[in-house]
Amino acid sequence: MKIAKRHARPRLSWSSMLNNLIAHRVRREKADLSFALANSDSIRRTASGLGPDGTKIDPRAGARMVVNISSAHIPALCAASAQGRTNAYKNCYDLDPTLSTISANRLLVDAALPLRAGTKAAQMYFGALEMSGIGVRFYGDVCLVLKREAVPQDTIILDRNSYDLVRSPHAQLVAATVPAAQEQARRTILRNWSGQWDKDLAAIAAIKAINVLGLRNRRWTTGQISAAVRDDEDYIEVLKAGSFGVADLQEARISAADAAHDALVHSRVATGSAPRFEALLWSDRRRSAEKALREAGVPLNIVVGSGRTRD
C-alpha cells in the first residue's frame, strides 16, 4: 500500500522539475548556474530549429517525430500512400485487428497510456523525438522523419519508452501493490512520464540532456544535444493519434554505415566477388526502398553524424 501511495503523489510541471533539477545539481556539484541555464536554453533553441547564434529558424531543423521501419516495408508504404489510404503506415492493431498476435505486455502498456478522451490505443502510432539523427535503428534501418505540421502541437509525449513500464524496476513496483490497484498504478506511472509536445518538449529534453551530459562550465553543442535526447534506444516517445503517409514526410534517413555497406556489396558484385546472401538481400531492399521513396518525392539522406547547425 505504501507503493500505491507513492504512485499517487501529484507531479510537478516539467518546467518546475527542470528548475528543481538545475538548482539541486548546481548546489551538489558547485556548478556554474549561468552555464546550466544557458545550456538548458540551448535545448529550447535546438528543438525550435534555431542555431546557437542566429535568430532565424531553419524550417527543416529542430525537433521531429521519427519512425524507424524496415526498408523491406517502404515500397508497400509508398504504394498505400499513392492509393490514398488513410493508414498507409500501420501499427500492430492495423496488422492484426483480432489482437491474437499482439503481445500481452503490449496490450498491458497500451491500456495504461495517457490518451486524450475518446482516443483508443488502436489509434496511436508510436515514434521517437529526434533532432538530427537516424532514430532508433532497433526498429528498422530506414528513419522516416515527419514534417513539423504533421504532428499536432498537443500531441502526448513520454520522457521514455512506454515499454519500460513492464520492465524492472517499475514492473516490480506495480507487482508489489494489491492486484486491484495495479491497473491504476500503471496508469499513474505513465501519466507521470507524460507531457505535451508544445508545452513540455524542451523541459523534458533538457532534463534528459542534463542526466546524460551532466552540468559543465562549457556550452553544449547542437550535436551533443541531439545525441543526448536520443541516446541509442533511450529516447523520448511520441504518441501520435492517427496514421500518416508519404505526404507527411519531410525526408527519410539511413545511416552512413548502411550506405557504406551497400556500396561495398555493389563493388564486390561488379568485380565478380560473391557477397553473403543476407548482405545482398538487405542491400537490394534498401535500393528498392530508395527507388520507391524517390518516386514518391521523399528525399533519402545519409546521416554521417549529428552535426552543428550553421546560421
Q: What is the pLDDT of residue 275?
A: 79
The distance from CA 7 to its chain's CA centroid, rounded to whole angstroms, is 25
| Cβ burial 190-219 (10 Å sphere, 16+ → b, else e) | bebbbbebeebbbbbbbbbbbeebebeeee
Query: Strand 142-146 and strand 249-255: pairing?
Result: antiparallel
**What average pLDDT is seen over the chain?**
92
Residue at grid coordinates 500531441: 155
Q: What mean pLDDT comes out for the span 277-294?
A: 93
Q: Domain residues for 221?
A: 2-301
Does residue 108 lie in a domain region? yes
- 3-state secondary structure labels for all residues of 119-177: CCHHHEEEEEEECCCCCCHHHCCEEEEECHHHCCCCCEEECCCHHHHHCCCHHHHHHCC
Which of 230, 44, 43 minimizes the C-alpha distance to 129?
230
Tell which wins on pLDDT, 133 or 5. 133
On whether residue 309 sits in a domain, the answer given is no
Q: What are the tens digits of pLDDT across the range 23-72? A: 999 999 999 999 999 999 999 999 999 988 888 999 889 999 999 999 99
Q: What is the pTM of this model?
A: 0.92
Q: Retrieve residue 118's grid coordinates.
A: 475518446
Asked if residue 124 belongs to a domain, the reply is: yes
Task: Establish if 43 belongs to a structural domain.
Answer: yes
Bridge partners, 239 (sequence order) = 126, 156
Q: Is the pLDDT of residue 310 over 80?
A: no
**What is the domain count for the chain?**
1
Contact 84, 302 (CB under 8 A): no
pLDDT in tens, 244-277: 999 999 999 999 999 999 998 888 887 877 778 8
Say which residues have a Cβ less than 8 Å from residue 237's Cβ, sequence separation at least 6.
126, 127, 128, 129, 157, 158, 160, 161, 162
156 belongs to a structural domain: yes
Please enumerate in sequence order all residues whose Cβ is within 8 A of that of 182, keeping only pairs 6 or more positions apart, or say none: 174, 175
Is 310 inside a domain boundary? no
Q: How far is Cα 67 from Cα 51, in angstroms, rounded to an integer?
A: 24
CA distance 181 to 252: 43
Q: What is the pLDDT of residue 8?
A: 46
Region of 232 (left: φ > 0; alpha: ψ -120 to 50; beta: rest) is left
Cell of 237: 516517445
Half-sphere CA count of 80, side-chain side, radius 13 A: 14
CB of 178 closer than 8 Å to CB of 4: yes
Q: Is residue 71 part of a domain?
A: yes
Does residue 125 sit within a domain?
Answer: yes
